[in-house]
Chains A and B, each alone.
Chain A
Amino acid sequence: MPSSFLSRRRFLSSTGMMLLIASAPGARAAEYAGALPWKPFAALPPDPPPGGRWYVFTPEEARTVEAVVDRLIPADELSIGGKEAGCASFIDRQLAGSYGSSDRLYMQGPFAAGLPTQGYQGSATPAGRYREGLAALNKHARATLGGKAFFELAPAEQDKVLQDFEAGKVEYKPAAGFFNLVLQNTMEGFFADPIYGGNKDMAGWKFIGFPGARYDYRDYVTAHNKPFPLPPLSIAGRPEWKTGDK
């Protein structure tokens, strides 16, 4: 018998599943008639945890991440560096939320290897990967560069450690994946809305000329070859909203 033939067992189990789905409670769509539903003060504002403290990182981890982000985006004549922009604080706050715990991802097995295009497919959460990866980073630094932690190294030495991690040329097997995770999160912190802790004073947006959280350009679409005149805008506003500031 060919394996694709619908066996009695498969037929019965699939029918049973359909009956289960059909009888599942709470699967009713809401119905509205007349005016659309509306409530005063309806809003789902972003609710980021306040800054000024570390939520996930230990003091040593915080110093390590600050050192890493400042090498990935060093301060130069173009912009402030990743540390001053708040990238480490951004990552810490993200790890404290659903991103760090993978709360909104399917996290049951099986954990197959997956393709590179599919991203990370393992069972660890981002918070766990940071804890393990940062420890490995400092362990590698201390073992190879005179007992110094990563954040105690000179910039050139730090670059060497990061390059080794990126290339996977260290004992720690997930090194390349960890490097890419930190690089990705650092860019997110540099360009995400400042209310999430990074992109201080919209420095990332000013750097690339991104106008921010705006959604209407009708006054400007016909003004060809002219720079957009308004400064970038955060969800929380911009300095020009305040009287006296300019």
Chain B
Amino acid sequence: MKTAALLAGLAASAIFATQGFASDLFDRINAGRYQAILADCAACHTKPGGKPFAGGAPLQTPFGALVPSNITPDPETGIGSWTYEDFRSAVKTGIGKDGKRLYPAMPYPAYASMKDSDVADLWAYFQKVEPVSNRVVSNQLPFPFSIRLSMLGWNWLNFSPREFRPDPNKTAEWNRGAYLVNGAGHCGTCHTPKSLTGADKGDEALRGGNLQSWYAPNITSDTHKGIGSWSIDDVVAYLKTGANRFEIASGPMAEAVSHSTSLWDDADLKAVATYLKDVKGDGAAVPAPLAANDPALSAGKAIYLDRCSACHVSTGQGQASLFPTLAKAPVVNSSDPTSLIRVVLEGSQAAGTTAKPTTPAMPSFGWNLSDSDVANVLTYVRNSWGNAAPPVTAGQVKDLRATLAR
């Protein structure tokens, strides 16, 4: 009798244990799914219109093309034969299965600061992703960059794996923001300027970077070039909906908002805003704008009134949620005008989010404005209504036009 009761008890506890394990696993997979959103894995590893995580569209780096790998659990062409340790090593140190070295286009220098528990959740999630057989030849770099072992030297120069350490003098919210911005969120991958070897310039973190013919603006608290004049709510609204009262996400940031930040928890977005508002800019003095009688400005003003003011308004104020404000906008005052030239030439479409599904678009003016027209109108925009930034040259427009035509 006693034995029977004991057996029954054992059976019951076994069921409990299984159920407990199952719900724990579910929580971890779900948490891992959220980590994949925070890290925006799909941005690179999912081809537009392709199967999730089965390999992405080629990334054009300054050194050549890299194709993001298949990270579904397919044993032949994905990461199905990997162990957790292989995965953790790839994500946090850039060394994949069998010691294969990843290129830092995979932002492992940022992911290095992720907590092991978050990476373990991510691993739990990726084991449950639909396996897709799709062989990807990642390394399409020219010699000598094609030698993966060269990343040994790169890592020695540029990479010191270190998990995030909270700053005890800051609030928990600030620390959560710092962890997200510099870790899974890998904001610096675009927004931090790069050295000649393509590594982050650590002492210029988040002060704006140029890649893939876009300029990711300064997102420090700089009030001229950065987002210092945005409130915490402005930052949260931008990341959550793709637009705030000043600005609308475009280009790669529109994709980052649509696929990633619009799906983040509000508390995490607020933490990010809190942290970004506390990141110092370069402290440089605000330059003086060009004189209003500069010939480029007179010509640029005529073009602006004829081609831009219908949406962006003659005072550069724009229209909230529809047309970005150009007056005192960080991207307008950036030293690097690449993104400005690009949206004028090829047009732009706003991020689509659940909150703002309209995706208003700017038409392309590449057919209508010459290189010097684009240069003059942008020089006018960059030196009006409180803006001040170096003039744009026709040569810059010509070069970018040629690059984009390829």
Q: Is A216 an interface residue (CB 8 A)?
A: yes
Any A CB within 8 A of the CB of B58: no
The reply to whether B306 and A238 contact each other, CB–CB distance below 8 Å, is: yes
Check if B314 sits within 8 Å of A40, measured CB to CB.
no
User: Per DSSP, are chain A's interface residues mostly helix, strand or loop, or mixed?
Assistant: loop
Number of interface residues of B (CB under 8 A): 31
Contacts of A216 in B (CB 8 A): 309-311
A180 to chain B, nearest CB (A): 35
Q: Does B156 count as interface, using CB distance less than 8 angstroms?
A: no
Q: A residues within 8 A CB of B372?
A: 242-243
Query: Among the listed stretches B92-100, B126-134, B176-184, B345-353, which one makes contact with chain A, having 4 or more residues with CB under 8 Å of it?
Result: B345-353
Q: Give Cα distance in the complex from A238 to B366, angstroms.
A: 17
Chain B residues whose CB sits within 8 angstroms of the CB of A24 once the complex forms: none
Contact with A along B351-393 (1 / 0, CB 8 A): 0100001010101101110001100100000000000000000
A residues in contact with B361, CB < 8 Å = 36, 38
Q: Does B14 sit within 8 A of A, measured CB to CB? A: no
Q: For the complex, is A230 an interface residue (Cβ under 8 Å from B)?
A: yes
Q: Which B residue sits closest to A212, measured CB to CB? A: B306
Q: Given the complex of chains A and B, what is the CA–CA distance between A230 and B364 in angstroms? A: 24
The CA-CA distance from A36 to B363 in the complex, in Å, is 13
Measured CB to CB, the residues of B under 8 A from A are 258, 295-296, 298-299, 302-303, 305-306, 309-311, 313-314, 345-347, 349, 352, 357, 359, 361, 363-364, 366-368, 372-373, 376, 404
Nearest 7 CB-CB pairs, A to B? Answer: A216-B310, A40-B346, A35-B352, A240-B302, A38-B349, A243-B295, A45-B367
Q: A215-B310, A216-B311, A245-B299 are in contact. List 20 more A-B contacts (CB 8 A).
A: A35-B349, A35-B357, A36-B361, A40-B346, A40-B347, A40-B364, A42-B347, A42-B363, A43-B363, A219-B309, A219-B314, A230-B305, A237-B368, A238-B306, A240-B299, A241-B306, A241-B373, A242-B372, A243-B298, A243-B372
18 interchain pairs, CB-CB under 8 A: A36-B349, A36-B361, A38-B347, A38-B359, A40-B347, A40-B364, A40-B404, A42-B347, A43-B363, A43-B364, A43-B366, A45-B368, A214-B306, A215-B310, A219-B314, A237-B303, A241-B302, A243-B298
